[in-house]
Chains A and B, each alone.
Chain A
Amino acid sequence: MKIRICLGTCCHLMGGSDLYSYFEEHCEKNGRDFELETPSCLDYCNRADYEAPIVEVDGEIYDRVTVEKFKKILEQG
């Protein structure tokens, strides 16, 4: 599972840093096949239909990702 948490300033400010923190604390060492990338701005936050923070999982874009939503995305994957 390839996860990209957008860490552009806008996503970082709207909770992206929490997603990164959650991932570091709970996902990195639990043996599941996660691959984390922390790209600079993925440039979705400026598009009208998307709202920060943005996460991309295996090519699919999720927006307004809270820690709660992030947990669900990771569980389904």
Chain B
Amino acid sequence: MAYITEIEIIKRKILTLLSKKMFEGTLREEIRDISEKISPDRAQPFRCCVYHDREITNDRIKIVLNLDHKKYKNVSWAETYDDFFEGQTDNLPILSVLEEACNGCPQQRYYVTEACQHCLAHPCALNCPKDVITIENGRAKIDQDECIECGLCVKNCPFNAIIQVNRPCENACPVDAIQTDEQGIARIDYDRCILCGRCLTGCPFGAVVERSDMLKVIRELTEGKKLTALLAPSIVAQFSVKATVPELTTALKQIGFDKVYELASYAAITAEQEARELEGKKGKLLSSCCPSWVYYIEKILPDFRENISLTPSPMKVAGADKKSDELLVFIGPCISKKQEAEESNIDYVLTYEELASMLAARDIDVSLCEETVPDMAGDYRGWLFAKSGGLTEAVQNFLAAPEEFDVDKVDGIDSGLERRLGKLVNDVDFIEGMACENGCIGGPCTVTNPRITKKKLADFIEKIR
């Protein structure tokens, strides 16, 4: 995973400031000041001026409140906050493009770079089927209006001097769900979107935004409601490279959670059920616990729909076990769980980024907390779910005769998978599908580099095995 950029830092600063004021009960009065704190007068603006930067921050805040920023453009902050507090919501999509922040990057284009040697042969122009490459002052030039983007010039240039430039969001999207409107602004095609979150981390202008339950959760916490935190297995090392789950349990109780459950205990139930299902079905089963993977099959390759396991994901198992007097808060690494929660009896979803912002806002250093045993401890086979290949290992552990089943995995959905999956399904009995590379520890809303998480997770599993 790449190092974090200014985009993530700004997003996290906004979340931290919002949490801080929400916890302190001063958000209504101080929400208007947040954009100025993010872009103070002396700061170097990212866009034309700090006022533009602040406007975009204000739009982001409204999206976090789940309110339509366009509708609320000329509404006072007090009124906006009151609407949020009274439970008004514009039901924004989980992921959307903030038009004002979208750069409208040029779509797929071919450019001649400085590396052009003005050669005598100029095979670029010679092989162009539309004759749109001319040689000016010895340098090749592409007429962008006439270019049909066939790419032959790229293939034929002996210096690799012609490059293809794509929009970063389109490049990042594995399912071709990013389109462009007449103004050149990116749009998400929700009929194809699988909520993997690649565009969220892929846009270098931070124009893809997600809605959040964070402020609602803080409100419930401060009002003393009984909230239970469900910790996804990839949570190891997300809040400090040296903090333990028992230390995190204390931190969560300090900010007001009533109970803390390790989802790994429910994940073991999923693994066992999936093993029974595989034995009963005698093969050709696709795992069901990564919602983006399930959406991928349903939307992009529906022919394989009937192969998706009917076993509920660990989050769904937890939802089915919900007590009447508790609110369940799933804490995890991804966007798509926000969608799955709506079908799973789960009240709220927080990402690691959001929870870390809440802990930072309360000045809680997880590694300094005392250790408290979680109210429900996990099974090591459940913790395995956090990494690519782990789910398979857990399922195999529950099979009576694991050697009878051939298994394979999809470690991150890419644009070529559409062509490969048929053969994959044909060749094996069980496929573990994970939308993110490395599995959940590589999720779009993780805080810690998966290289570190992988190591810490292995140590942790070794310890409890």
A binding-site residues for B, Cβ under 8 Å: 7-10, 12-15, 17-18, 20-22, 24-25, 38, 40-41, 46, 66-67
B451 touches A13 (CB 8 A): no
A13 touches B368 (CB 8 A): no
Within 8 A of A (CB), among B355-394: 356-357, 359-360, 363-368
B363 touches A13 (CB 8 A): no
**B48 close to A (CB within 8 Å):** no
A21 touches B360 (CB 8 A): no
Q: Mark B15-28, 1 if CB is under 8 A from A, else 0.
A: 01000000000000
Please report the C-alpha to C-alpha distance between residue A26 and residue B113 in the assembled complex, in whole angstroms. Answer: 33
Within 8 A of A (CB), among B416-465: 447-449, 451-452
A9 touches B9 (CB 8 A): no
Query: How far does the Cβ of A54 sit from chain B's closest Cβ, in whole Å?
Result: 13
A13 touches B356 (CB 8 A): yes
- The residue that B12 contacts in the complex, of A14, A25, A46, with Cβ under 8 A, is A14
Within 8 A of A (CB), among B5-19: 9, 12-13, 16
Please report the C-alpha to C-alpha distance between residue A15 and residue B9 in the assembled complex, in whole angstroms. Answer: 8
- The residue that B16 contacts in the complex, of A7, A10, A12, A25, with Cβ under 8 A, is A10
Please report the C-alpha to C-alpha distance between residue A77 and residue B45 in the assembled complex, in whole angstroms. Answer: 31
- The residue that A7 contacts in the complex, of B3, B240, B364, with Cβ under 8 A, is B240
Query: How far does the Cβ of A43 sit from chain B's closest Cβ, in whole Å?
Result: 9
Could you name 15 residue pairs across A and B whose Cβ atoms are closer than 8 Å? A7-B241, A9-B366, A10-B363, A13-B357, A14-B9, A15-B3, A15-B9, A17-B241, A18-B3, A21-B451, A40-B240, A40-B367, A41-B365, A41-B368, A46-B363
Residues of B within 8 A of A40 (CB): 240, 365, 367-368
Please report the C-alpha to C-alpha distance between residue A40 and residue B364 in the assembled complex, in whole angstroms. Answer: 11
Q: Mark B341-365, 1 if CB is under 8 A from A, else 0.
A: 0000000000001001101100111
**B4 close to A (CB within 8 Å):** yes
- The residue that A24 contacts in the complex, of B3, B4, B9, B452, with Cβ under 8 A, is B452
Query: How far does the Cβ of A13 sit from chain B's closest Cβ, in whole Å?
Result: 4
B3 touches A12 (CB 8 A): no
B365 touches A67 (CB 8 A): no
A12 touches B447 (CB 8 A): yes
**B47 close to A (CB within 8 Å):** no
Residues of A within 8 A of B356 (CB): 9, 12-13
Residues of B within 8 A of A9 (CB): 239-240, 356, 359-360, 364-366
| Interface SS majority for chain A | helix
Query: How far does the Cβ of A69 sit from chain B's closest Cβ, in whole Å?
Result: 12
Please report the C-alpha to C-alpha distance between residue A77 and residue B239 in the assembled complex, in whole angstroms. Answer: 29
Residues of B within 8 A of A41 (CB): 365, 368
Query: How far does the Cβ of B26 sit from chain A's closest Cβ, in whole Å?
Result: 17
- The residue that A13 contacts in the complex, of B242, B360, B449, B452, with Cβ under 8 A, is B360
Knowing A7-B241, A40-B368, A67-B3 touch, does A17 contact B448 (C-beta < 8 A)? Answer: yes
Among residues of B, the one whose C-beta sits closest to the C-beta of A45 is B360
Knowing A7-B367, A18-B449, A22-B3 touch, does A12 contact B239 (C-beta < 8 A)? Answer: yes
Please report the C-alpha to C-alpha distance between residue A14 and residue B366 in the assembled complex, in whole angstroms. Answer: 15
A20 touches B241 (CB 8 A): yes
Query: How far does the Cβ of B139 sit from chain A's closest Cβ, in whole Å?
Result: 33
Query: How far does the Cβ of A35 sit from chain B's closest Cβ, in whole Å?
Result: 17
Please report the C-alpha to C-alpha distance between residue A2 and residue B216 in the assembled complex, in whole angstroms. Answer: 43
- The residue that B452 contacts in the complex, of A20, A46, A66, with Cβ under 8 A, is A20
Residues of B within 8 A of A20 (CB): 241, 452
Instruction: A7-B241, A9-B359, A21-B451 given; name 4 further pairs at CB < 8 Å.
Output: A7-B242, A12-B356, A13-B12, A40-B368
Query: How far does the Cβ of A17 sit from chain B's closest Cβ, in whole Å?
Result: 5
Among residues of A, the one whose C-beta sits closest to the C-beta of B360 is A10
Among residues of B, the one whose C-beta sits closest to the C-beta of A25 is B451
Q: Mark B221-257, 1 if CB is under 8 A from A, else 0.
A: 0000000000000000001111000000000000000
Query: How far does the Cβ of B11 sit from chain A's closest Cβ, in whole Å?
Result: 10
Residues of B within 8 A of A21 (CB): 3, 448-449, 451-452
Among residues of B, the one whose C-beta sits closest to the C-beta of A68 is B3
Query: How far does the Cβ of B448 sit from chain A's closest Cβ, in whole Å?
Result: 5
B365 touches A8 (CB 8 A): yes
Please report the C-alpha to C-alpha distance between residue A8 and residue B449 in the assembled complex, in whole angstroms. Answer: 16
Most buried by B among A8, A46, A67: A8
Residues of A within 8 A of B368 (CB): 40-41
Please report the C-alpha to C-alpha distance between residue A38 and residue B368 in the assembled complex, in whole angstroms. Answer: 13
Which 5 residue pairs are nearest across A and B when measured between Cβ atoms? A21-B449, A10-B360, A18-B3, A13-B356, A41-B365
Query: How far does the Cβ of B356 sit from chain A's closest Cβ, in whole Å?
Result: 4
Among residues of B, the one whose C-beta sits closest to the C-beta of A6 is B365
Please report the C-alpha to C-alpha distance between residue A24 and residue B448 in the assembled complex, in whole angstroms. Answer: 13
Query: How far does the Cβ of A53 sit from chain B's closest Cβ, in whole Å?
Result: 9
Residues of A within 8 A of B367 (CB): 7, 40
Query: How far does the Cβ of B250 sit from chain A's closest Cβ, in whole Å?
Result: 13
Please report the C-alpha to C-alpha distance between residue A20 and residue B237 in the assembled complex, in whole angstroms. Answer: 12
